[in-house]
Amino acid sequence: MDFNILCSDKTWIKLFFLVWIFASSFTNGNWMYLGMSSVAVDTQQTEKCNTVPGLVLEQLDLCQRNPESLLCVSEGARQAIHECQNQFKFERWNCTTSQNYSVFGPIMTKGTRETAFIYSILSAGVTDSVTRACSAGNLTDCVCDPTNDGKNSVEGWVWGGCSDNVQYGLHFSRKFVDAPEVLKHQDTQSVRNKMNIHNNEVGRRTVRDMMRLRCRCHGVSGSCEIQTCWKSLPKFSTVGAKLKEKYEISIRIAGRSKRKLRPKTPKRHRQARTGRKKRLSKDDMVFVHKSPNFCTPNPIKGILGTEGRLCNRTGSGPESCDLLCCGRGYNTQVVRLTDRCQCRFIWCCYVDCKTCETLFDRHTCK
Ligand SMILES: *[C@@H]1O[C@H](CO)[C@@H](O)[C@H](O)[C@H]1NC(C)=O
Ligand SMILES: *[C@@H]1O[C@H](CO)[C@@H](O)[C@H](O)[C@H]1NC(C)=O
Ligand SMILES: *[C@@H]1O[C@H](CO)[C@@H](O)[C@H](O)[C@H]1NC(C)=O
Ligand SMILES: *[C@@H]1O[C@H](CO)[C@@H](O)[C@H](O)[C@H]1NC(C)=O
């Protein structure tokens, strides 16, 4: 499936507002359900933003001022959820969602590194889709980034075409995605609020920092007398891969931070603390709670366990049966795959094929 469709593209629109599927208990601030495939946002309905449940005041306000933006939020969340599942398909936790309002389920109640990844990729997803919509001329509040229009670069090329307006995407995502975490009184903000905002920003900065220059040549065929260049968004899957790397090296922060978030000091370091302090960078993904091992099912915590998961017997990564099955071992099944093969073209006009059978082993966790 092509997830690079614009949030405003006509192909996008099969529009119903299926919220009645969901439990009536909408907690304000859970807008992520807008990315579930069972939800579609009605463009007509968005004029009445009040009918969209789960939004906080600031989000309602943004929706009312620019109803199309809600389609972008929905499309951004959708591509983020898809990318999360793609990045985690070989992990014990595989970014499972339930087709209901809770989306990622009870794992969201703890500030683990998985939660950190979810926040950052959803924020990145909204940044991406809003920015793409700007370039398509589909949001009333923004257009292509005009900053460099017509200017010459030091290297001799000319700024031209439509540079993706990531500044607007960032701005929108900060307002919309961060809204549920930004409380009136700053000092009532919990560490979780701060953690979420921090990780939202990690997602946005990743999109921004991966913007690439793209160029086109003009002039007599093949010559490149004039070159025009513009800034372009990265493919969203590369953003996903980058955030996955950040997840791997994410930093645990202290559970009580009065003002600024700071890294948790491991116990064994506390005595022999050296002069240099570890600083938190705006690019570090952060978490508060240790993750469970995700090995055994625990419905209350929203953990499915890894029984039945496909694994790789010879691999050594997270998809290896060793790691994925948590030492429980695996079952092997011989799978028969039939396919068309040895095809010949017969004049005229058809293709004649044989049917071939291949056997291979399929391993699943016990
Ligand atoms: C923007 O999106 C709307 C709603 O999907 C669509 O009807 C309209 O044609 C789009 N406008 C442009 C300029 O692409
Ligand atoms: C959402 O779905 C999951 C499984 O599909 C279920 O366990 C959970 O209770 C549901 N939550 C709500 C709020 O309906
Ligand atoms: C994730 O793993 C569960 C089993 O633990 C499986 O049922 C589900 O299909 C997987 N989801 C994805 C998106 O791979
Ligand atoms: C399993 O892992 C090995 C080594 O990484 C790889 O060559 C092989 O293609 C993998 N098999 C499957 C079925 O993914």
Average pLDDT over residues 308-313: 93
Helix, strand, coil percent values for the chain (each to nearest 5): 35, 15, 45
Q: With bands split at pLDDT 50, 70 and 90, how would you rate the model's confidence at 252?
A: very high
Omega before 349 within 30 of 0, i.e. cis: yes
Q: Is the CB of 96 under 6 A from ligand 3?
A: yes
Which residues surround ligand 4 with Cβ inside 6 Å? 312, 314-315
Average pLDDT over residues 151-171: 89
- Token representation of residue 66: 């620019």
Residue 217 pLDDT > 80, yes or no?
A: yes
91 close to 114: Cβ distance less than 8 angstroms: no
Which strand (E) or helix (H) includes residue 358? strand 350-365
Distance 306 CA to ligand 4 centre (A): 19
Q: Where are the alpha helices (DSSP H) in the chain?
A: 57-65, 68-87, 113-135, 166-178, 191-209, 236-248, 267-270, 321-324
The pLDDT of residue 274:
52
Q: Is the CB of 89 under 6 A from ligand 3?
A: yes
Q: Is the CB of 57 under 6 A from ligand 2?
A: no
**Residue 139 backbone phi and psi in degrees, to 5:** -120, 135
Q: What is the DSSP string of 40-109?
A: ---TTGGGSGGGSTT--HHHHHHHHH-THHHHHHHHHHHHHHHHHHHHTTTSSS-----SSTTTTGGGGG
Closest residue CA from atom 3 of ligand 1? 8
Q: How far is Cα 272 from Cα 275, in angstroms, rounded to an integer?
A: 10
Per the confidence metrics, is the pTM higher than 0.75? yes
Distance 2 CA to ligand 2 centre (A): 28
Look at residue 294 and give its three-state secondary structure: coil
Q: Is the CB of 1 under 6 A from ligand 2?
A: no
Q: How far is Cα 320 from Cα 307, in angstroms, rounded to an integer?
A: 14
The pLDDT of residue 202:
97
Q: How far is Cα 80 from Cα 83, in angstroms, rounded to an integer?
A: 5
pLDDT digits (tens, 9 = 90+) for 227-249: 889 999 999 999 999 999 999 99
More reliable by pLDDT, 257 or 264:
264
Q: With bands split at pLDDT 50, 70 and 90, how would you rate the model's confidence at 14?
A: very low
Average pLDDT over residues 137-157: 85
Residue 318 pLDDT > 80, yes or no?
A: yes
**Residue 324 backbone phi and psi in degrees, to 5:** -65, -35
Average pLDDT over residues 91-119: 90
Q: How far is Cα 163 from Cα 211, in angstroms, rounded to an integer?
A: 10
Closest residue CA from atom 7 of ligand 4? 315
Minimum-distance ligand to the CA of 69? 1
pLDDT digits (tens, 9 = 90+) for 59-104: 988 988 888 888 899 999 999 999 999 999 999 999 999 877 788 9
In the chain, list all ranges with CATH 3.30.2460.20.
307-366
Distance 311 CA to ligand 4 centre (A): 9
The pLDDT of residue 26:
59
CATH of domain 307-366: 3.30.2460.20
Residue 42 pLDDT > 70, yes or no?
A: no
Distance 194 CA to ligand 2 centre (A): 27
Q: With bands split at pLDDT 50, 70 and 90, how would you rate the model's confidence at 148?
A: confident
The pLDDT of residue 156:
83
Task: Report the nearest atom of ligand 1 relative to the CA of 12.
Answer: 5
94 close to 85: Cβ distance less than 8 angstroms: yes
The backbone region for 298, taken as left when phi is positive above 0, alpha when psi lies in -120 to 50, beta otherwise, is beta
What is the share, in percent, of the chain residues with pLDDT greater than 70? 84
The pLDDT of residue 63:
87
Q: With bands split at pLDDT 50, 70 and 90, how would you rate the model's confidence at 18?
A: very low
Q: With bands split at pLDDT 50, 70 and 90, how would you rate the model's confidence at 347?
A: confident
Q: List C-alpha distances in Å: 296 to 113, 201, 249.
A: 18, 33, 24
Place of tokens 């943004």: 62
Q: Which of 143-157, 158-172, 226-240 has the lowest mean pLDDT?
A: 143-157
